[in-house]
Chains A and B, each alone.
Chain A
Amino acid sequence: MTLAVTNLTIARGGLPVLADVSFVLETGQALILRGPNGVGKTTLLRTIAGLQPSLNGTVAGAQDQIAYAAHSDGLKAMLSVTENLTFWAEVFGQSDISHALKAFELENLSDRLAGTLSAGQKRRLGLARLLVTGRPIWVLDEPTVSLDTASVTMFAAAVVAHLNSGGMALIATHIDLGIEQASLLDLTPFIALNDVAMGSSDEEFL
């Protein structure tokens, strides 16, 4: 199983931000995306997840394989931890949530309303959601925000377990997760220049 991104050019607000991004991700591999703020990490991940159209290039092997997680977790404050997870499990055609609760140490919190959790606990719940999707490719946008050191280790362990069981991960993050299988991709060389602003939606007006 392969996720192949070929010559992908993406835009934010009508202007190209990254051009000709290419990489291949194989089963069991993780790719950490690096780059300064505003380089287009979020846009790239959203494009790969199919939420946003690209200006150019192709994403192969992503169709119905991706579990996407960003800053907002899709959690409802008025539902309990179990209810939140069960809902997402059912949407993705799964039923078992116990392994997800266990991996992120949420068992003791399972009956609490999500609204009463701390920011870090909410984040863990949001990440636990990835485990109940049953999808092989995790696309994660800054997953470690508001996690403490212990939780980051917990998260890294979950990613490693996912990779070892045949998954893949594409992660935009600035901290070192200590994942052996992960390679780094610096996005700076792909920043779109004006003279390669091909296909920008405003290009024809210039």
Chain B
Amino acid sequence: MKALLIRDIRLAVRAGGGFGLGLAFFLIVIVMVPFAVGADTELLSKIAPGVLWIGALLACLLSLDRLLALDFEDGTLDLLATAPLPFEAALSVKSLAHWITTGLPLVIAAPVLGVLMNLPTQCYGWLVLSLLLGTPALSVIGTFGAALTVGIKRGGLLLSLLVLPLYVPTLIFGAESARRGAVGADVSTPMLLLAGISAAAIALMPFASAAVLKVNLR
């Protein structure tokens, strides 16, 4: 399992796709927002938590179609399916690798981009915490979407269509936590619900992903 994790991270770093592109996309989305809504700092500060969450979510979504497609094409998934490692575990590890190479950098970059968005000071901690709790759910749910569409040529758009509705609860509770943090309200309820969704998704989604991926391999 460790071998798979190390390999995936190494590939993401060497191919220059994982770390770099997602982050760059996140940056660009956040830079585009003031151009679209105006440079009014008060308005930006008000929408900052939500915009940062949407940006992180889209950056995460963008990297999903490479998550399994490359391993599908070169036969790695066939070989992993015949390996002693349970397929569910292999997929959990791949989700983890995706989170480390995509989700975690987004979490770390979010406060920096928060400055650009004039994010209220008291919100930084809550934003990072909500992203830290929420992005793992985005990765495992995304893995399910990638597993569904892996056999489809040009499945990227379909992948978005399938995954985005599944992201709704995570987005709502995540952004709500950050928004409440921004105005100094109590964040415990949405934060706990977010953590609950994340925990349940991490525990259960790999089974669904493995089931659909096995169907796609046959």
Q: Do A and B come from one complex?
A: yes
Could you tell me if B78 and A76 are in contact, using CB atoms closer than 8 angstroms? Answer: no
Could you tell me if A87 and B7 are in contact, using CB atoms closer than 8 angstroms? Answer: yes
* Alpha-carbon separation in the docked complex, A49 to B73 (Å): 18
Q: Is A52 an interface residue (CB 8 A)?
A: yes
Chain B residues numbered 133-188 whose CB sits less than 8 Å from any CB in chain A = none
Q: Binding site of B, secondary structure by majority: helix, strand, loop or mixed? A: helix
Of all chain B residues, the one with the shortest Cβ separation from A47 is B218
Q: Is A79 an interface residue (CB 8 A)?
A: yes
When distances are taken between beta carbons in the complex, the residues of chain A under 8 Å from B73 are 72
Interface window among B22-30, B53-61, B82-90, B113-121? B82-90
Asked if A78 meets B217 with Cβ closer than 8 Å, knowing A87-B3, A91-B83, the reply is: no
Could you tell me if B79 and A74 are in contact, using CB atoms closer than 8 angstroms? Answer: yes
Q: Is B4 an interface residue (CB 8 A)?
A: yes
Instruction: Give the contacting residue for A78; candidates B11, B81, B82, B85; CB below 8 A.
Output: B11
Please tell me the size bucket of the interface on A: 20 to 34
Chain B residues numbered 68-121 whose CB sits less than 8 Å from any CB in chain A = 71, 73-76, 78-85
Instruction: Give the contacting residue for A64; candidates B3, B10, B71, B84; CB below 8 A.
Output: B84
Asked if A78 meets B75 with Cβ closer than 8 Å, knowing A68-B82, A87-B3, A91-B83, the reply is: no
Q: Is A146 an interface residue (CB 8 A)?
A: no
Q: Is B37 an interface residue (CB 8 A)?
A: no
Please tell me the size bucket of the interface on B: 20 to 34
- Inter-chain residue pair count (beta carbon < 8 A): 67
Could you tell me if A74 and B11 are in contact, using CB atoms closer than 8 angstroms? Answer: no
When distances are taken between beta carbons in the complex, the residues of chain B under 8 Å from A90 are 2-3
Interface string of A122-138 (1 = CB under 8 A from B): 00000001000000000
When distances are taken between beta carbons in the complex, the residues of chain A under 8 Å from B32 are none
Could you tell me if B80 and A76 are in contact, using CB atoms closer than 8 angstroms? Answer: no
* Alpha-carbon separation in the docked complex, A150 to B80 (Å): 30
Chain A residues numbered 36-57 whose CB sits less than 8 Å from any CB in chain B = 46, 49-53
* Alpha-carbon separation in the docked complex, A87 to B9 (Å): 13
Asked if A73 meets B75 with Cβ closer than 8 Å, knowing A64-B84, A92-B83, the reply is: yes
* Alpha-carbon separation in the docked complex, A49 to B218 (Å): 11
Could you tell me if A51 and B3 are in contact, using CB atoms closer than 8 angstroms? Answer: no
* Alpha-carbon separation in the docked complex, A53 to B81 (Å): 13
* Alpha-carbon separation in the docked complex, A48 to B16 (Å): 38
Q: Is B15 an interface residue (CB 8 A)?
A: yes
Could you tell me if B218 and A70 are in contact, using CB atoms closer than 8 angstroms? Answer: no
Chain A residues numbered 55-94 whose CB sits less than 8 Å from any CB in chain B = 64, 66-68, 70-76, 78-79, 83, 86-88, 90-93
Chain A residues numbered 18-47 whose CB sits less than 8 Å from any CB in chain B = 46
Could you tell me if B11 and A76 are in contact, using CB atoms closer than 8 angstroms? Answer: yes
Distance of A47 from chain B, by nearest CB (Å): 9
Which of A64, A83, A91, A93 is packed against the most chain B CB atoms within 10 Å? A91
Instruction: Give the contacting residue for A74; candidates B14, B78, B217; CB below 8 A.
Output: B78
Using a CB–CB distance below 8 Å, which chain A residues touch chain B?
A: 46, 49-53, 64, 66-68, 70-76, 78-79, 83, 86-88, 90-93, 129
Using a CB–CB distance below 8 Å, which chain B residues touch chain A?
A: 2-4, 7, 10-11, 14-15, 71, 73-76, 78-85, 217-218
Q: Closest 7 A-B residue pairs measured CB to CB?
A: A72-B75, A90-B3, A74-B76, A52-B218, A78-B14, A74-B79, A74-B75
